Amino acid sequence: MKRLGAAIIGCGSIHGVHADAIEASELGRLVCVVDIDKQRAQASAAKYDCRWYVDYLEAINDDEVDVVHICTPHYLHASMAIEAVRAGKHVLVEKPVAISVSQAQEMAQESKKHGRYIGVCFQNRFNPESQKAKEIIDSGKIGAVRGIKGVVTWFRTKEYYTQSGWRGRFATEGGGVLINQAIHTLDLMQWLGGGVKAVKGNVSTYLLGDVIEVEDTADAVLFFKNGARGIFYATNCYTTNSPVEIEIDCEKATLRIYDGTLVMEQGKSRELLVTGKASETAYKSYWGRSHAVLIDEFYRAVLSDDPRHIISVEEGMESLKIIDGIYKSSSTGNVININ
Ligand SMILES: NC(=O)c1ccc[n+]([C@@H]2O[C@H](COP(=O)([O-])OP(=O)(O)OC[C@H]3O[C@@H](n4cnc5c(N)ncnc54)[C@H](O)[C@@H]3O)[C@@H](O)[C@H]2O)c1
């Protein structure tokens, strides 16, 4: 099979995960990296033996580039993705797909108009425990989903925000713990539960208010399209990055996802369906282990023109709608319909 030529825009903390995955894939090769910080671009190019640019337009107009990975601050995702599909490139964009639902809608339109795929990096969907949970729920054998619980208790230091100035501000990050950290859990909850139609929630800034203008803590009740109810809590104010907890209460059994494992409880029986440790990765434990799988699947989808395993912009937008609803609910006190 042909190898797709790749460009990575943004050589910050996550870009090495993408570069390593491209190098490991039989379907891709890294052509160039881009960063407005010339030293970062040069250092990455030296490590991965590829070209470097400081202007992303040079990368998306590079004839050897087929796929553009967008690993830049959130506010740049939509404009860079749109420019790339207009230049005939496929795009893999880091989460969040964009900082507003309207930006994401424009990305979806442009992707269709130019016949190029845009995939969103929700790598945790590809974790074995997530895949197995989805398969069991969709098979119907444990009955309908009645409720889903999602809990994210992590910590971020003040330096995390001061070292990358785009974080912690609505204009550039688009929000706080919701859009940056907990978005993976909201995505998994809505994916496993079959879509959310309304939310009621609250956001607060408890500990980091002197460095950020966005929330460091949020909670919500999610009303699913099929009548199920979700409860959700997320904070960046804890003392460590605990494994995310997701519990799915179905009519005939309960599924629990925790730190790479999937447990199913049915009456008195308790079965360990997937074992593993999410923290066993060469990168930060809370990034999970599945970027390489997602990237390989994206390349396979592009090469075979079969988008079934791409997390589309429309899919990536669902968590953004939930986040937008939580903000609106927090300021009005109302239940907000999102779908
Ligand atoms: N999927 C995950 O688990 C995961 C984990 C971490 C980060 N991320 C996402 O990856 C993205 C990047 O995050 P990060 O932590 O690597 O950020 P970062 O601040 O470490 O890096 C961003 C890089 O983009 C560069 N940049 C800024 N403007 C640019 C421009 N116009 N052209 C080219 N380069 C530009 C910066 O100089 C910087 O090197 C964000 O969307 C973040 O949410 C995802």
Q: What is the pLDDT of residues 91-129, one digit of tens each?
A: 999 999 999 999 999 999 999 999 999 999 999 999 999
Cα end-to-end distance, the chain, whole Å: 40
- Cα dist. 182→17, 48, 49, 134, 173 in Å? 20, 31, 34, 19, 13
Distance of CA 226 to the CA centre of its chain: 24
Calculate how far, in angstroms, residue 81's C-alpha sits from the geometric centre of ligand 1.
14
Cis peptide before 96 (omega within 30 of 0): yes
Residue 284: which of 9, 8, 17 has the closest Cα? 17
Q: Which residues pair with 288 in a beta bridge?
A: none
The CB of 13 under 6 Å from ligand 1? The reply is yes
Pick the CATH number of 4-123 from 3.40.190.10, 3.90.1300.10, 3.40.50.150, 3.40.50.720: 3.40.50.720
Q: How confident is the model at residue 294 (pLDDT cuts 50, 70, 90)?
A: very high
Pocket test for ligand 1, best of 18, 38, 72 (most atoms within 8 A of CB): 72
Domain with CATH 3.40.50.720 in the chain: 4-123
The whole-number pLDDT of residue 279 equals: 63
The pLDDT value recorded for residue 282 is 66
Cβ of 74 less than 6 Å from ligand 1? yes
Given the DSSP bridges, would you call strands 51-53 and 28-34 parallel, antiparallel or unpaired? Answer: parallel
CATH fold label, 125-276+312-337: Dihydrodipicolinate Reductase; domain 2 (3.30.360)
Q: How many A from CA of 71 to the centre of ligand 1?
A: 4
Give the pLDDT score at 2.
Answer: 79
**CATH 3.30.360.10 domain extents, the chain:** 125-276+312-337
Ligand 1 neighbourhood includes 66 CB (under 6 angstroms): no
- Protein residue whose Cα sits closest to atom 25 of ligand 1: 10
Q: Which helix (H) or strand (E) holds 293?
A: helix 291-304
Q: Residue 201 pLDDT more than 70?
A: yes
Q: 3-state DSSP: the chain helix, strand, coil percent, rounded to 5?
A: 40, 25, 35
254 DSSP β-pair partners: 249, 265
pLDDT mean across residues, the chain: 96
